[in-house]
Amino acid sequence: MGAPGAGKGTQATSIADYFGIPAISTGDIFRANVSQQTELGRQVEAILSAGDYVPDELTEQIVADRLDQPDAAKGFLLDGFPRTMHQVGALDDYLDARGIQLDAVLVLDADPDDLVGRLLRRAQLEGRADDTEETIRHRMDVYLRDTEPLLGHYESEGLLAKVAALGTVEQVRSRIVATLDRADGRGAIDDVS
C-alpha cells in the first residue's frame, strides 16, 4: 500500500521476483484493458483519467479471478489492492474461504506533499495521460480519504509494516526485503525506517 507516487509499482515487480510469486497490480490490469480497448477497459477509462476509484465489486471480481490463477497458489503480492474498506472485507472473505492468511501489509510511507511534487515531475517526463496536476491532486485526496484509513485497520491486526519510501529504488527495495524476510512465516513485523 502507499499513496500515489510512493513507488508501489516500481517495487512490486522486483519484490515479487525475489519471493518467486506474481505481482498483481490492479492499476496495471486496468491500464492494460484500457490500452487494448476491452469491454472492461471501456468501462474504466474515464474513471482512471479522473483519478477516481473503479467500483468495488468490479475491482474485487477482477482480483478474485486473478488470484484463482494457478501461479498465485503458492503466494502473491497485491499492488494497489485493497484500497477501500469494502475491498478489505472482500479480500478477507476470499482468503477466509480458502484458509489463507496475509503475511504482511506493507506501506511505502512518505509525505503527501513530497509525493505530489514527485508525481508532477514524473508527469512532465513521461506525459502520462492520467497525470495532469488536477488529477494528481485529486488522486492524493482520494487516497487520503478512502485508503489511508485502512492502515489503522491492518495495524490493529498486527500486519502493518511501514517502510520509508524516500531514497533510491535500491535502498527502498532493501528495506522492503529486510522487513518481509522478518515477516515471512510469522505474521508480526516491525517498522524499518
Q: How far is the CB of 3 from ligand AMP (least distance, A)?
A: 9
Q: How far is the CB of 190 from ligand AMP (least distance, A)?
A: 26
Cell of 153: 485497520
Would you name the residues annotated as active-site residues?
Answer: 8, 83, 122, 128, 139
Among 1, 34, 83, 159, binds ligand AMP (CB under 6 A): 83
What are the phi and psi torsion angles at 144 (to 5°)? Answer: -65, -35
Is the preceding peptide bond at 82 cis, omega within 30 degrees of 0?
yes
Q: Rounded to an integer, what distance in angstroms lies between the CA atom of residue 121 and that of residue 124?
A: 5
Q: Among 151, 159, 157, 153, which Cα is nearest to 187's?
A: 159
Q: How far is the CB of 7 from ligand AMP (least distance, A)?
A: 11
Residue 189 touches ligand AMP, criterion: CB under 6 A: no
Q: What residues from 23 to 82 belong to the interface with ligand AMP (CB under 6 A)?
A: 26-27, 30, 47-48, 51-54, 59, 80-81
